[in-house]
């Protein structure tokens, strides 16, 4: 028996969040004795890249190289993973929560008759039954979920386990998928993706700006700081509503939920809806000239001061240190 991990790729590179899912599955298999970890990869990815998934804990990668699977065609991906599940004889599928992962997992759950638990934050408690802890109320609480089915799908939240990097290269095995044409009836016409930047939902450090920055022309210092830190940039809802920054940078209740190691909020007051998007961060730094800004209550570190003064100084101090 094995645990199957659905790994995502973008332009031939396996996503880091998927590698974290592999490490989660490895830790899970050590706990439950479910055998080895088999990853399933879809579309065009090099053999070396796939073998590299071994470092995170997979012993084998099943690869369906059909290039129609390069794009994230939801139905086709669900069918391809379901076939891998049958082939491997697994009982558990692990994947990273993401735009595509969520959409695929829901269909997959029905296909393979599995309970799906999303936003999983740690390994299940198997001492009595099978209990999974998941984040709910947009990070404001946790639920213990009792899973009663034999087959299970766990969609893992970022930072649920540490990424392993000490595994050996995985063996890569091709597998043939037979996907009905109807699964490809919906067409992805084009994909627009910010290139050469750290992607916000996957970033380990996030630098966000709010209305306190006064206008889109002042985003240069946010970008400079992000560059120094290798961070992604985010923003508050008003900033995205005003069109200063694109919607995919909006962090909050109805935007992207981030879970970085470090979140730096600049000129953001900290409305409860914004906090809902950042409360899974390990460490929060708030820079705001208003000492009464509610964000300070949710922060680990804070600087009361004018962003236009503090941020360039912080950037210089970081450059000197890093």
Partner 1 sequence: MKILVCITHVPDTTSKIQFTANNTKFDTTGVQFIIGPYDDYALARAVELRDQTNGKLTVLNVGEAETEPTLRKALAIGADEAIRVNTFPKDSFFVAKQIAHYAKEGGYDLILMGRESIDFNGGMVHGMVGELLGIPSFSPVMKLDLDGTTVKMAREIEGGKELLEAQLPLIAGCQEPIAEWKIPNMRGIMSARTKPLNVVEPVAADTQAEATGYQLPPAKGAVKLVDKDNVSELVKLLKNEAKVL
Contact between 234 and 208 (Cβ < 8 Å): yes
Output the CA–CA distances (angstroms, integers) from residue 97 to 72, 144, 146, 186, 187, in the order listed.
Answer: 14, 18, 20, 22, 23
**Within a 13 Å sphere around the CA of 199, how many CA atoms are in the beta-carbon half?**
12
Q: Decide whether 132 or 221 has the Cβ nearer to partner 1.
A: 132
Largest CA distance in the chain: 61
Query: Footprint of partner 1 on residues 248-267 (CB under 8 A)?
Result: 248, 253-254, 261-262
Query: Footprint of partner 1 on residues 170-209 (CB under 8 A)?
Result: 185-194, 197, 199-202, 205
Output the CA–CA distances (angstroms, integers) from residue 217 to 17, 141, 221, 243, in the order listed.
Answer: 32, 37, 10, 12
Q: Decide whether 63 or 107 has the Cβ nearer to partner 1.
A: 107
Query: Footprint of partner 1 on residues 61-90 (CB under 8 A)?
Result: 71-72, 74-75, 78
Q: Decide whether 57 or 277 has the Cβ nearer to partner 1.
A: 277
CA-based nearest residue to 26, from 2, 8, 52 = 2
Q: Decide whether 38 or 232 has the Cβ nearer to partner 1.
A: 232
Angle subtended at Cα 222 by Cα 217 and Cα 224, rounded to the nearest 5 degrees: 105
Q: Does residue number 283 form part of the binding site for partner 1 (CB under 8 A)?
A: yes
Task: Tell me the closest approach of the beta carbon of residue 73 to partner 1, in angstroms.
Answer: 9
Collapse the DSSP code of 200 into the 3-class scheme (helix H, G, I; strand E, B; otherwise coil) and give the result.
helix
Residues 204-243 as x/- pattern, contact with partner 1 by CB under 8 A: -x-----------------------x--------------
Q: Does residue number 116 form part of the binding site for partner 1 (CB under 8 A)?
A: yes
Q: Does residue number 54 form part of the binding site for partner 1 (CB under 8 A)?
A: no
């Amino acid at each position: 028996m094995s645990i199957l991990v659905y790994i995502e790729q973008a332009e031939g590179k396996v996503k880091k969040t998927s590698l974290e899912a592999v490490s989660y599955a490895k830790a899970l298999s050590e706990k439950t004795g479910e055998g080895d970890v088999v990853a399933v990869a879809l579309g065009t990815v090099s053999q070396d890249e796939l073998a590299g998934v071994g470092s995170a804990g997979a012993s084998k990668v099943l690869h369906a190289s059909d290039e129609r699977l390069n794009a994230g065609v939801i139905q086709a991906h669900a069918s391809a993973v379901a076939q891998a599940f049958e082939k491997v004889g697994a009982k558990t599928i692990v994947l990273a929560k993401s735009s595509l992962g969520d959409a695929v997992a829901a269909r997959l759950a029905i296909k393979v008759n599995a309970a799906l638990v999303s936003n999983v934050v740690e390994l299940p408690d198997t001492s009595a039954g099978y209990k999974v802890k998941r984040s709910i109320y947009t990070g404001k609480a946790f639920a213990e979920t009792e899973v009663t089915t034999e087959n299970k799908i766990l969609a893992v939240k970022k930072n649920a386990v540490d990424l392993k990097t000490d595994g050996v290269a995985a063996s890569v095995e091709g597998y043939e998928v037979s996907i009905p044409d109807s699964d490809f009836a919906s067409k992805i016409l084009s994909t627009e993706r910010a290139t050469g930047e750290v992607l916000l939902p996957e970033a380990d450090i996030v630098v966000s700006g709010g209305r306190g920055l006064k206008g889109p022309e002042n985003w240069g210092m946010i970008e400079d700081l992000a560059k120094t830190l290798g961070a992604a940039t985010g923003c508050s809802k008003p900033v995205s509503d005003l069109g200063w920054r694109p919607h995919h940078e909006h962090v909050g209740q109805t935007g992207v939920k981030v879970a970085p190691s470090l979140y730096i909020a600049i000129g953001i007051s900290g409305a409860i809806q914004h906090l809902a998007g950042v409360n899974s961060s390990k460490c929060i730094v708030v820079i705001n000239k208003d000492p009464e800004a509610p964000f300070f209550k949710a922060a680990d570190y804070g600087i009361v001061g004018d962003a236009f003064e503090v941020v360039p100084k912080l950037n210089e101090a970081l450059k000197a240190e890093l």
